[in-house]
Structure 1
Amino acid sequence: MKIGIEAQRLFRPHKHGMDIVALELIRALQVIDSKNEYFVFVKADEDHTCLSETSNFHIIQVPGGNYVFWEQVMLPIYAKKYGVDILHCTSNTAPMFLSMPLVLTLHDVIFMEKTSGKNTSSNYQKFGNLYRKWLVPKIVGKCQQIVTISAVEQANISKVLGLNKDAIAVVHNGVSGRFGVKPSAETLNEVRNKLHLEEDFFLFLGNVEPRKNVGNTVKAFVLFAKINPKVKLVITGLKQSFVEDILNEIGEIDYLKRFVLAGFVEENVLLTLYAEAKVFLYPSLREGFGLPILEAMAFGTPVVTSNISAMPEVAGDAAFLVNPYSVEEIATAMQTAYENEALRKEKITLGYLRPSMFTWEKTAQKMLNIYQNGR
């Protein structure tokens, strides 16, 4: 069987969640399947060494301009050229017209939902959301199989797009074995020195999207910091001005020194931050899955996350679950996770068990069954 996998943005240097999921899935398929022939369709970019070809996995660089033209025009041409029997599109969208069966991974339908608060997304993100909002209702009826990443999202997709839940397969994301491997003393010292982390710190993966709940997280940490003067919060992915605006809004700009704005961090730095953080904060308002929860747990780092959306499905009873709309509740959970040693140890022990329930090998095996059997 010839299986095509769309992974347009796989080679871009700063990978986002869906790019990482596609990469890990393909790597896992390379391990478990030596019989079928795969054609991975990508767009040329800087990080062309992140995936290697094997005897039955071929990387096909498809030319094209913007991602809409690449997806709607060039991808169908190349999928037909290489004679694939089925095409798996991995990141929410797919070509309108194909000459072979389509499997679509629809990670979520957040782009179809109204959000409250100021829209701080970039113009690129706004265009992408408009494109998805226009396209997805048109292509879901053409799919041989729709795949999503959690039972919560299966229900959301069914409701928003009017699909029978049975038509949507749930294939959970997995956790790479790299998460849980403690960093060397040399790497640890290098990261701490680079970010000036002499004290305990919490970790939060920032993003300008309102659903990431940056405002409430920052406000909650200020409440926590007033009681705990020797703990900092490391935030990745955000500019300092974004946090400054939140602190100015609540009249607490003096607390800016308690925040470490790390910007984009390479994977080795992220792994070290996960391993060394006293608490990992993930009080998101809306997620299709929530992979960072498991990544932090693999390192034995206690997690504070939300009691809504997909987070409880992923975290189980191994995290401190909070109402993400309550600043006070988030702050209280921070305090408990930091100072209650008995409860902290209990959550760490339970957390170590969660990643084994979500492996990329399991993900790949389920996807292989879908490719071969249609379900």
Structure 2
Amino acid sequence: MKIAFDNQIFTKQSYGGISRIFANTAVELEQLGVGVRIIGGFHINNYLKELPKSITSGKYIESYPKRSLRVFNQLNKAWSSLEANKFKPDIIHETYFSFDSPIKKKKPVVVSVYDMIQEIFPQLFPEYELTTPEKKASLERADHIISISEHTKNDLVNLFGIQPDKISVVHLAADTLSQATANDYKEPERPFFLYVGGRRGYKNFKSLLRAFASSELLVKDFDIIAFGGMPFEKEEVELFHELGLNENKVRHESGADSYLAFLYSKAFAFIYPSLYEGFGIPPLEAMVNHCPVISSNTSSMPEVIGDAALFFDPREKEEMKNQMERLVLDSKLRQDLIKKGLSRSENFSWKKTAMETNKVYQKVLAS
């Protein structure tokens, strides 16, 4: 069996969750003996640079010259057709959403869906970022759909009217983050809660700040470190001041995966206040790195995290504050969550993701 991944996501992301999913899955599929080829074309993706040449084709460029993206899209369509004719895939797995199939070949098509955030919270996105029409077109022409959680599958059924038997759920995994040595990074002076990722809109970071600031216990003894995403915006800094939080109390950090692993291992707890996630990899990363998890109880989070976290309603500031304080006041509970997290994380691996994906491919070819 031969599977071709198209170039869509690799032309959009230098780094990013979706392109990393496909890169990891391709490596594991090859280990399972599946013929796999990522038809990258002219791409900007850094993960592809690190993959074996046996599973990739294409040329890395640092960025597309201004006003040239349309030209490169046409070049990539031609490149994709040539590569597909050489590789002769049995299935084409589209890596993102488009009105027309990027690889013009009469083969079964599989499409992955990662979340339905834009459909549930369209008001949080500028109009030019909304991809709902392209998503609908992709899913209509797909022979089968992979959803990364049962919750996202239910959203697809309820919001788009897709038949449940056209959708298979394949869970993701956490990357094994390279561990830092003891001398690589300086340990923060005060205990801290760790937040990871973007902070806008449905990520609900401002609610976390308000919950934290409302607790004398938390403010007195703890800081918040926000890792990743953009540096703090003016609006966020103004909120810090409004809440009486100085900029040493809430800090932005960024860096290599080894630094993130270091922060997970040193954090008092990882906190995840998001209103919606299609899957939610950061809690799994925290668990793998011996960091207890406090998470919102919405969308896919209970499905992924199981009983290995303290949960709260992300729209209830008092609930969030209470769960943070509860962990501070109960050292045994914290150790129990660390043990539960390690156990829960063992249910997820990229090898398992690839095996379940391969079952979908076999089902498609047998139908």
* CA apart distance, 1:111: 1.5
Aligned residues: 352
Contact 1:94 1:104 (C-alpha < 8 Å) held by counterparts: no
User: In the alignment, which residue of structure 2 is the partner of 1:127?
Assistant: 128
Tell whether the 8 Å contact from 2:7 to 2:43 is kept in structure 1 after alignment: no
CA contact (8 A) 2:9 2:18 kept: no
Counterpart Cα distance in 2 of 1:69 and 1:11 = 9
The equivalent residue for 2:52 is 52
Residue of structure 1 in register with 2:174 after alignment:
175
* Offset, 1:11: 8.2
Cα 1:102/1:278, change in 2 over 3 Å: same
Tell me the equivalent position of 2:85: 81
Q: 1:214-363 counterparts in 2 under 5 A?
A: 214-224=205-215, 227-236=218-227, 237-240=229-232, 241-248=234-241, 251-262=242-253, 264-363=254-353
Q: What is the rounded CA distance, in whole Å, between the counterparts of 1:247 and 1:357 in structure 2?
A: 38
Question: Which 10-residue stretch deviates more, 199-208 or 303-312?
Answer: 199-208
| 1:361 positional shift | 0.6
Structure 1 contact 147–168 (Cα < 8 Å) conserved? yes
Residue aligning to 1:107: 114
Distance change >3 Å, CA 210–CA 67, structure 1 → 2: farther
- The 5 Å alignment of 1:148-227 reads 148-176=147-175, 178-179=176-177, 182-189=179-186, 192=187, 197-224=188-215, 227=218
Whether the 8 Å contact between 2:9 and 2:95 is mirrored in structure 1 is no
1:90 matched residue in structure 2: 95
Is the Cα contact below 8 Å between 2:213 and 2:219 reproduced in 1? no
Whole-Å separation in 2 of the counterparts to 1:59 and 1:356:
33
- Note the residue ranges of structure 1 that are not aligned, 5 or more in a row: none
Tell me, yes or no, if the aligned pair for 1:302 and 1:337 is still in contact at 8 Å: no
Task: Give the match's secondary structure for 1:229.
Answer: helix
Distance in 1 of aligned mates of 2:357 and 2:153: 16
- What does the per-residue CA deviation read over 1:300-349, in whole Å, with 9 as the maximum and x for residues that have no partner? 11111111100000111110110001111111111122331121121111
Shift of 1:156: 0.3
Contact 2:97–2:134 (Cα < 8 Å) also in 1: no
The residue type equivalent to 1:127 in the other structure is: Y
Q: Which residue of 1 aligns with 2:37?
A: 39
Report how far residue 292 of structure 1 moved. Answer: 0.7
| CA distance in structure 2 between the partners assigned to 1:225 and 1:242 by the alignment | 24
Amino acid at match of 1:318: A
The AA in structure 1 aligned to 2:6 is E
Q: TM-score, normalised by structure 2?
A: 0.86
Measured in 1, the distance between the counterparts of 2:271 and 2:191 equals 14
Q: Are 1:147 and 2:146 an aligned pair?
A: yes
Measured after TM superposition, the shift of residue 62 of structure 1 is 8.8
Q: How many angstroms apart in 1 are the aligned matches of 2:14 and 2:337?
A: 32
Deviation of 1:245 after TM superposition, in Å, equals 3.3
Partners of 1:345 and 1:231 lie apart in 2 by 18
Given that 2:217 and 2:325 are in contact with CA atoms closer than 8 Å, whether structure 1 keeps it comes out as no
Counterpart Cα distance in 1 of 2:79 and 2:360: 21
Q: Post-superposition shift, 1:60?
A: 3.1
Q: Identity of paired residues, percent?
A: 24
> What CA RMSD, in Å, does the superposition of the two structures yield over aligned residues?
2.8
Deviations for 1:90-143, whole angstroms, at most 9, x for unmatched residues?
A: 335573473222110011222222356xx3x5x6xx5232xx211121221211
Q: CA deviation at 1:8?
A: 4.1
Q: In structure 2, how many angstroms separate the alpha carbons of the residues matched to 1:67 and 1:147?
A: 29
The Cα of 1:169 is off from its aligned counterpart by 0.4
Label 1:334 to 1:13 Cα distance change in 2 as closer, same or farther (>3 A): same
